[in-house]
Structure 1
Amino acid sequence: MLKDNHGRRINYLRLAVTDRCNLRCFYCMPEEGLNWLSREELLTYEEMLRTCALLVKMGIEKIRITGGEPFVRKDLMKFLSALSKISGLNELTITTNGVLTAPLVPGLKKLGIKSVNLSLDTLDANRFFTITHRDEFNKVMETLDQLLKYDIEVKINAVVMDGKNTQDIIPMVEMTKDMPVSVRFIEEMPFNGEGHIYSGLKWDYIRILDEIKTKYPDVRKLQDEQYSTSYNYNIPGHKGDIGVIAAYSRTFCGTCNRIRITPEGVLKTCLYDGGVMNIKDLIRLGFSDDELKGKLQEAMNNRAKDGWEAERNRAFNDPAHESMATIGG
């Protein structure tokens, strides 16, 4: 069992396979995109498989594949197939924006993928274009239809942004009436790759929930699962449920069970830290599995208590220089 210096069990890895994305969401990156990593700077699939297998032996039970948009990386399905065969890995999931995903859903089902997080910030095609700078709304909705058709659990991730999509909160809640989906509203974070000026949190998890209660005063609290990052609710008679994620308020840090690896191999023991070691560099220097295990455990032994401490300890104390595309969503 892998534990950190605060006694918290670490059993969940978020692995970003690419920093590239086929959308340009303004809260994530500038419209012109980022300075993309070269192929040589990325972890290879072989390096990722070795790292994941090692971490599973150390206690990781769940791996989520993220990006960027993971499906823009060539041969991802082959990698997912190999990853799914790692002995001891109990759960393999994916976060995607859905633009390329619909035709791949049958293959994901065959691989045993039981859950997919779908990023979708609005149900209005025009607002979708305004937020993402791309006309891909219909493809995303097609992915949603396919995931439901193949009985894959769907969690819809919607970042709530003042003046951009708050009018979508109630319509997205209404999706849960007839669809067995979980709609999760996420506080906006400052990781925007300098795409726009982050003016602070105006819609925190409390205000989001208050907005939901204006239409659904009978919304009821559900029992949150262990390690849950969301406060979860249900509206009587609805097939699905809703969640509110305090991603900026960081109220869930005390039970955090996750670590992240960026596309270039940087280990982040907290979303808000600046990275604690580069696994790719150690692999390419010839480190053995035992040596890598030692370095990984050392990182866990020096983990920040929470996101606020991690942010204070950053060498450059401004997360806005990073993009969610480069740190795994």
Structure 2
Amino acid sequence: MLTDNHGRNINYLRLAVTDRCNLRCFYCMPEDGLNWLSRKELMSYEEMLKACALMVNMGIQKIRITGGEPFVRKDIMQLLTSISALDGLQELSLTTNGVLTAPYVPELKKIGVRSVNLSLDTLDANRFFTITRRDEFANVMAALEALLHHDIEVKINAVVMDGKNTQDIIPLVEMTRDLPVSVRFIEEMPFNGDGHLYTGLQWDYVRILDEIKTKYPQIQKIDDPAYSTSYNYKVPGHKGTVGVIAAYSRTFCGTCNRIRITPQGELKTCLYDDGGLNIKDLMRAGTSDDNLKLALLNAFSNRAADGWEAEKKRIVHPGIHESMATIGG
């Protein structure tokens, strides 16, 4: 079992396969997009697979594929199929915006993907267009339908934004009445790629839950799974569940079990740090597997206690300016 310098287990890797995305959500990036990484700057699939195999050998049990949007990268299913076959890996999952996902769902089921996080901030097609700057709502809903049809667990991730989609909180909770989904409301974070000025958190996890209780005062707290980032609830009689993620408040850092690798190979032991170890560069320099492991163990042994400490120690970007697309959602 991998542990960090604070005694926390590390068994979960979030691997971002691309910084590109086919949506332009205003809270993630500017309308014109980002300065996309060149192909040479990206980790190759071979490098990603090697990194995953190495970390599974060290004790990583769960891998989540993220982006950007994973399905905009060509031949992504080849990578997913190879990762799913790694000896010792217990769970492979992914996060997607759903725009291109539906046709891949049968194959995802076939290779053993049991859980998919679907980004969906609103159930209103017009607000979807306003938030994402793209007319893709129908494709996202088709992806949701396909995932449920193939009995893949769905977690719907909705970022709560003041003045943009707070009116969607109750309709999203209502989805759990008839659908076996987990709807998770996420505090807005400052990772917007300088697309707009982040003026501070208006809707924290407490306010979000209070809003839910105005319609569902009978909502009940349920047990949170180990390492859960969400506080989890259930409305009596509903098939699905509700979660609230304190992503900006950072209340779950004490049990954080996850690390990230960005599309360019940067290891982030905390979402709020600025990296420091580039796995891709070490591989391309011919670093042996044993020395790669030593470099990773050294990074894990110098992990910040929480997101606030990690942010305070930032050197490359003293403020938060990246996009989640370049970090990995």
What is the rounded CA distance, in whole Å, between the counterparts of 1:111 and 1:128 in structure 2?
A: 31
Aligned residue number for residue 210 of structure 1 = 210
Where do 4+ consecutive residues of structure 1 move more than 2 Å? none
The alignment status of 1:116 with 2:119, answered yes or no, reads no
In structure 2, give the amino acid aligned to 1:9.
Answer: N
In structure 2, give the amino acid aligned to 1:136.
Answer: E
In structure 2, give the amino acid aligned to 1:257.
Answer: N
> What SS does structure 2 have at the residue aligned with 1:295?
helix
Give me the CA root mean square deviation.
0.4
Number of equivalent positions = 328
Aligned residue number for residue 52 of structure 2 = 52
Deviation by residue 1:41-77 (Cα, 9 ceiling, x = unmatched): 0000000011000000111000000000000000000
**How much does 1:317 deviate?**
1.7
What is the rounded CA distance, in whole Å, between the counterparts of 1:317 and 1:169 in structure 2?
A: 33
The alignment status of 1:295 with 2:295, answered yes or no, reads yes
> What SS does structure 1 have at the residue aligned with 2:104?
helix
What is the rounded CA distance, in whole Å, between the counterparts of 2:79 and 2:63 in structure 1?
A: 13
What is the rounded CA distance, in whole Å, between the counterparts of 1:140 and 1:174 in structure 2?
A: 18
**How much does 1:138 deviate?**
0.2
Deviation by residue 1:83-142 (Cα, 9 ceiling, x = unmatched): 101000000000000000001100100011000000000000000000000000000000
> What SS does structure 2 have at the residue aligned with 1:322?
coil
> What SS does structure 2 have at the residue aligned with 1:305?
coil
The answer to whether the Cα contact below 8 Å between 1:99 and 1:140 also exists between their aligned partners in 2 is yes
Deviation by residue 1:12-62 (Cα, 9 ceiling, x = unmatched): 000000000000000000000000000000000000011000000111000
Q: Which runs of 5+ in 1 are unaligned?
A: none
Aligned residue number for residue 27 of structure 1 = 27
What is the rounded CA distance, in whole Å, between the counterparts of 2:289 and 2:80 in structure 1?
A: 22
Aligned residue number for residue 277 of structure 2 = 277
Q: Which runs of 5+ in 2 are unaligned?
A: none
The TM-score, its normalising length taken from structure 2, stands at 0.99
1:35-184 alignment runs, 5 A limit? 35-184=35-184
What is the rounded CA distance, in whole Å, between the counterparts of 1:153 and 1:2 in structure 2?
A: 27
What is the rounded CA distance, in whole Å, between the counterparts of 2:138 and 2:270 in structure 1?
A: 34
In structure 2, give the amino acid aligned to 1:148.
Answer: L
Aligned residue number for residue 325 of structure 2 = 325
**How much does 1:276 deviate?**
2.4
Deviation by residue 1:118-174 (Cα, 9 ceiling, x = unmatched): 000000000000000000000000000000000000000000000000000000000
> What SS does structure 1 have at the residue aligned with 2:143?
helix
> What SS does structure 1 have at the residue aligned with 2:123?
coil
What is the rounded CA distance, in whole Å, between the counterparts of 1:151 and 1:241 in structure 2?
A: 16
In structure 1, give the amino acid aligned to 2:273.
Answer: D
In structure 1, give the amino acid aligned to 2:318.
Answer: N
What is the rounded CA distance, in whole Å, between the counterparts of 1:63 and 1:112 in structure 2?
A: 12
> What SS does structure 2 have at the residue aligned with 1:177?
coil
* Structure 1 range deviating more: 173-182 or 274-283: 274-283
In structure 2, give the amino acid aligned to 1:287.
Answer: T
What is the rounded CA distance, in whole Å, between the counterparts of 1:310 and 1:58 in structure 2?
A: 24
Calculate percent identity across the aligned residue pairs: 76
Aligned residue number for residue 312 of structure 1 = 312
What is the rounded CA distance, in whole Å, between the counterparts of 2:218 and 2:318 in structure 1?
A: 42
What is the rounded CA distance, in whole Å, between the counterparts of 1:159 and 1:109 in structure 2?
A: 27
What is the rounded CA distance, in whole Å, between the counterparts of 2:58 and 2:2 in structure 1?
A: 6
**How much does 1:268 deviate?**
0.1
> What SS does structure 2 have at the residue aligned with 1:41?
coil
> What SS does structure 2 have at the residue aligned with 1:214?
helix
In structure 2, give the amino acid aligned to 1:45.
Answer: Y
Deviation by residue 1:289-326 (Cα, 9 ceiling, x = unmatched): 0000000000001000000000000012211x200000
> What SS does structure 1 have at the residue aligned with 2:189?
coil
> What SS does structure 2 have at the residue aligned with 1:154?
strand
The alignment status of 1:235 with 2:235, answered yes or no, reads yes
What is the rounded CA distance, in whole Å, between the counterparts of 1:101 and 1:225 in structure 2?
A: 27
